[in-house]
């Protein structure tokens, strides 16, 4: 049963104003907004509208929102805070940015991946850049996701607003409010979100330990003295709690504070196209325990409290080297300090006293990089894009019990790419081919693992990962047809493989190879009807051990049909996932390891909605209509210690039938 909370009722009542009343002709100007499989419009680039309703209904975090992209998967741990994976690569291989700067989590067991602190609807656009890049940071071999706020100046003095309320099965209740006001020279933007859900049930009707409550706030103040200049100060804060079905502890605090100062100046001179710079600060304070959100079964009360402080800066200049050539030069740097304090005792007061003691530092990272990117038009419809970057990395081990305590590992790593793009005549698309090389330093979660030979610190023995990638694809239009294909091949030296087959989790380097593709297609059957399809395929091999590469997602096909007459819309989606029997039990990545083979499954979902007034969108849907019991291959296992009142499973099953409704309001 859906229940409207007092907060949700107040938002609906306050926003259902005559301000939104318009003629029917104005309603028809709105575009279709229900997303089932976002299409790629540019080479290796996918853009999403985070304010549009989605099916299946995403959790309040960034990872679940990204799952609609072909090739993107989520490693499930409960109801929220899953880890995103693209092309079979997870963790720091896939960069997560907020307004251009990287964000981190603090938990050593990945309770809080970067996307755990992101409520997608509070942003204005989300972009996935596939494959190697140089402008966005170091080591992102799979790609980069950027959650961005609108930096546009107001055309005239006034205000805009956006709000939404989402209700659904398992007590799902989300509220999002944001507004922007100002003049042509100054604006203030603020947003607030609150998301809450109870434990969900899988397709067998079994309850999964998965409840969560999260909130986010942010504020931006921008100065726009002219059309080409922006100075913006941004601040944000968020917190929450989440139950996990895959481990013996839950997250009871996800406190994040961040601040950023950004400057941008365009059209500086005939030579200087743009100058930009930013400085940022982020602090994460995370607490997990084994008693707040569940009945304690262990002998001791256990509390872990890591925190993480990240400070960084970025600067770049874009030059008009000629009429046909643009050159971007830049530098970035960051300093990242991680601490961990713990408490464990049969007496809760003693455990709390231990966990509230000093914060001993366990790891410290520093990175400084320079980069350059060139875009050269060979002809009006063809171009070459290429870039290089060099980074110096330092990782200091501050763990008092480590044999490498006080030691620092230093590496100078290189990355680069080159890509050729050619437009098809009459705007019918673009085809491309590119080569890229990425060198990635071990991240926090990898470097604290043990060496496979000595079973002690791997700080000075584990090597940086080196990935060589080929990308070939095209975006196309042909009559009523449109679509894209993106094929990739990776040859990876010193791939960082996590080995959890023994009591001590280890990290080792192997040679690996992955290849696959993503494809999407749409056919405009009539003015109102459209058919869509999305396909993704990944294959990975561990060439050192001559066996499958662990933690690779199964192949996936999505088929959809949509009807939209600009007033009412409805659609259906069939998601088909193959079996995955290529496994390497006990090995994988920093998030999880292969548990077992996985059967294939199919899930059918439907949605519909209406636009009664300008700026008002009412939508509803049923995900997993036939209440199918299924689990993703890469999802985590049920907790080895059975949580009282819950049944342990081989893998965490996804939600069963989920009913949801959403109301969205926009004020211009």
Helix (H, G, I), strand (E, B) or coil at 84: strand
CA within 13 Å, CB half, 243: 21
> pLDDT class for 640, splitting at 50, 70, 90?
low
> Quick one: fold of 6-667?
Maltoporin; Chain A (2.40.170)
* CA dist list (Å): 571 to 40, 57, 410, 559, 602: 20, 14, 53, 11, 17
Closest CA to 463 of 482, 484, 487, 446: 446
For 635, counting Cβ atoms within 10 Å of its Cβ (0-12 exposed, 13-18 middle, 19+ buried), the class is buried
Q: Which of 203, 176, 179 is nearest to 190 (CA)?
A: 179
Query: What integer is the mean pLDDT of 34-57?
Result: 84
Mean residue pLDDT of the chain comes to 92
CA distance 473 to 424: 13
Overall residue count recorded for the chain in this entry: 668
Greater confidence (2 vs 398) lies with: 398
CB–CB of 422/381 below 8 Å?
Answer: yes
Give whole-number Cα distances, 145 to 34, 45, 63, 191, in Å. 21, 10, 10, 21
Sheet of 143-148, strand order: 45-48, 125-130, 143-148, 94-98, 101-102
Residue 293 clears pLDDT 50, i.e. is over it: yes
Q: Which stretch of DSSP H or E encloses residue 284?
A: strand 272-289
Q: Are 250 and 286 in contact (CB under 8 A)?
A: no
Structural domain boundaries in the chain: 6-667
Q: Which two tokens stand for residue 369?
A: 């990089």
Report percent pLDDT > 70 for the chain: 94
Question: Could you write out the DSSP letters of every residue in 5-35?
Answer: -HHHHHHHHHH--GGG---HHHHTTSPP--B
> Residue 3 — very low, low, confident or very high, per pLDDT cuts 50/70/90?
very low
Beta strands in 462-505 (DSSP E): 465-478, 481-499
Sign of CA dihedral 88, 92, 98, 104: positive
How far is CA 339 from each of CA 291, 398, 399, 407, 464, rounded to the nearest angstrom? 23, 9, 9, 16, 23
What does the pLDDT read at residue 103? Answer: 87
Report, in angstroms and rounded to the nearest whole number, the Rg of the chain calculated over CA atoms. Answer: 24
pLDDT (mean) for 302-306: 97
Q: What is the mean pLDDT of residues 354-365?
A: 96
- Considering only CA atoms, which of 287, 302, 206, 301 is closest in space to residue 245? 206
Residues 145 and 102: beta-carbon distance below 8 Å: no
pLDDT higher than threshold 70 for residue 27: no
Higher pLDDT, 362 or 3: 362
Q: How confident is the model at residue 474 (pLDDT cuts 50, 70, 90)?
A: very high
For residue 132, the model assigns a pLDDT of 92
Give pLDDT tens digits for 510-554: 999 999 999 999 999 999 999 999 999 999 999 999 999 999 999
The pLDDT assigned to 602 comes to 98
State the average pLDDT over residues 420-429.
93
Paired sense of beta strands 94-98 and 143-148, if any: parallel
Per-residue pLDDT, averaged over 591-616, amounts to: 95
Rounded distance between C-alpha atoms, residue 19 and residue 614, angstroms: 9
The helix (H) or strand (E) run that includes residue 407 is none
Predicted local distance difference test score (pLDDT) of residue 17: 30
- Residue 34: predicted pLDDT: 62
Position 8 scores a pLDDT of: 39
Percent of the chain with pLDDT over 90: 86
| Mean pLDDT for the stretch of residues 110-126 | 93
Say if CB 378 and CB 384 are below 8 A apart.
yes
Q: For 515-575, give the DSSP string.
A: EEEEEEEEEE-SSSEEEEEEEEEEEEEETTTTEEPSS-PPPEEEEEEEEE-SSEEEEEEEE
Q: How high is the pLDDT of residue 6?
A: 37
Dist CA 344 CA 30 (whole Å): 57
- Residue 1 scores a pLDDT above 50: no
pLDDT in tens, 60-76: 899 999 999 999 999 99
With CA atoms as reference, report the closest residue to 658 among 112, 79, 84, 240: 79
Report phi then psi at 48, rounded to 5: -130, 150
Closest among 580, 589, 625, 587 to 606, alpha carbons compared: 625
State yes or no: pLDDT of 19 exceeds 70.
Answer: no
β 361-379/325-345 pair status: antiparallel
Instruction: Classify 427 in phi/psi space as left (phi over 0), alpha (psi -120 to 50) or beta.
Output: left
- Tell me: the pLDDT tens digits for 411-420? 999 999 999 9
Q: Are 198 and 171 in contact (CB under 8 A)?
A: yes
At residue 18, does pLDDT exceed 50? no
Across 377-391, 421-435, 639-653, least confident range: 639-653
pLDDT, mean of residues 436-456: 96
Contact at 8 Å (CB) between 34 and 68? no
Question: What sign results for the dihedral spanned by CA atoms 343, 365, 123, 222?
Answer: positive
Mean pLDDT of 133-138: 93
Among 163, 89, 176, 164, which residue's Cα sits nearest to residue 128? 89
Two tokens, residue 256:
């994040």
So what's the pLDDT on residue 31?
A: 47
- DSSP per-residue codes, 46-57: EEE-TTS-BSSP
CA-closest candidate to residue 80, choices 204, 153, 11, 174: 174
């Amino acid at each position: 049963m859906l229940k409207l909370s007092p907060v949700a009722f107040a938002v609906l009542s306050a926003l259902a104003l005559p301000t939104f009343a318009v003629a029917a002709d104005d309603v028809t100007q709105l575009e279709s907004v229900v997303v089932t499989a976002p299409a790629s419009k540019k080479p290796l680039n996918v853009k999403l509208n985070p304010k549009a309703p989605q099916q299946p209904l995403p959790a309040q975090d960034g990872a679940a929102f990204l799952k609609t992209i072909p090739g993107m998967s989520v490693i499930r741990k409960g109801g929220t805070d899953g880890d995103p994976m693209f092309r079979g690569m997870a963790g720091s291989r896939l960069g997560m940015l907020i307004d251009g700067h990287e964000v981190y989590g603090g938990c050593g067991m990945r309770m809080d991946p970067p996307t755990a602190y992101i409520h997608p609807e509070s942003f204005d656009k989300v972009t996935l850049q596939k494959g190697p890049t140089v402008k966005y940071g170091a080591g992102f071999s799979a790609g980069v996701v950027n959650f961005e706020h609108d930096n546009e100046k107001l055309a005239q003095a006034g205000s805009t607003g956006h709000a939404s309320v989402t209700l659904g099965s398992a007590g799902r209740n989300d509220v999002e409010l944001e507004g922007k006001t100002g003049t042509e020279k100054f604006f203030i933007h603020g947003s607030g979100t609150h998301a809450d859900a109870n434990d969900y049930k899988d397709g067998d009707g079994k309850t999964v330990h998965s409840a969560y409550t999260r909130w986010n706030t942010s504020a931006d103040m921008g100065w726009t003295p002219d059309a080409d200049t922006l100075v913006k100060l941004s601040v944000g804060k968020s917190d929450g709690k989440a139950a996990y079905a895959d481990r013996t502890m839950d997250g009871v605090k996800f406190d994040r504070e961040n601040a950023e100062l950004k400057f941008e100046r365009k059209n500086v001179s005939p030579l200087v196209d743009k100058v930009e710079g930013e400085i940022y600060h982020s602090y994460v304070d995370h607490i997990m325990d084994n008693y707040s959100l569940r009945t304690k079964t262990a002998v001791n009360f256990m509390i872990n409290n890591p925190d993480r402080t990240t400070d960084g800066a970025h600067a770049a200049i874009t030059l008009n080297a000629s009429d046909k050539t643009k050159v971007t030069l830049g530098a970035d740097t960051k300093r990242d300090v991680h601490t961990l304090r713990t408490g464990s005792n049969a007496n809760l007061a003693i455990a709390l006293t231990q966990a509230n003691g000093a914060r001993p530092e366990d790891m410290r990272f520093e990175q400084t990089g320079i980069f350059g990117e060139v875009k050269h038009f060979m002809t009006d419809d063809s171009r070459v894009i290429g870039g290089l970057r060099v980074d110096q990395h330092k990782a200091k081990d501050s763990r008092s019990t480590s044999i490498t305590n006080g030691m620092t590992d230093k590496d100078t790593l290189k990355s680069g790419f080159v890509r050729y793009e050619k437009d098809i005549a009459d705007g019918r698309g673009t085809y491309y081919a590119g080569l890229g090389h990425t060198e990635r330093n071990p991240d926090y979660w990898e470097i604290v693992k043990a060496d496979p030979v000595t079973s002690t610190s791997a700080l000075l023995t584990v090597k940086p990962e080196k990935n060589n990638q080929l990308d070939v694809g095209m975006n196309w239009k042909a009559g009523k047809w449109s679509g894209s294909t993106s094929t990739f091949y990776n040859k990876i030296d010193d791939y960082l493989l996590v080995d959890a087959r023994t009591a001590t989790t280890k990290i080792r380097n192997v040679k690996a190879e992955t290849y696959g593709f993503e494809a999407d297609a749409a056919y405009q059957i009539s003015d109102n009807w459209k058919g869509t399809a999305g396909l993704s395929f990944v294959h990975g091999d561990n060439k050192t051990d001559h066996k499958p590469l662990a933690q690779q997602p199964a192949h996936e096909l999505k088929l959809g049909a949509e009807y939209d007459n600009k007033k009412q819309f409805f659609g259906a989606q069939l998601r088909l996932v193959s079996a995955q029997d290529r496994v390497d039990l006990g090995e994988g990545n920093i998030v999880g390891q292969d548990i077992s083979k996985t059967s294939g499954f199919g899930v059918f979902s439907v949605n519909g909605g209406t636009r009664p007034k300008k700026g008002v969108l009412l939508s509803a849907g049923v995900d997993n209509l036939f209440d199918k019991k299924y689990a993703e291959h890469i999802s985590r296992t049920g907790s080895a210690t059975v949580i009282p009142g819950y049944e342990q499973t081989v893998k965490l099953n996804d939600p069963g039938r989920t009913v949801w409704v959403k109301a969205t309001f926009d004020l211009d």
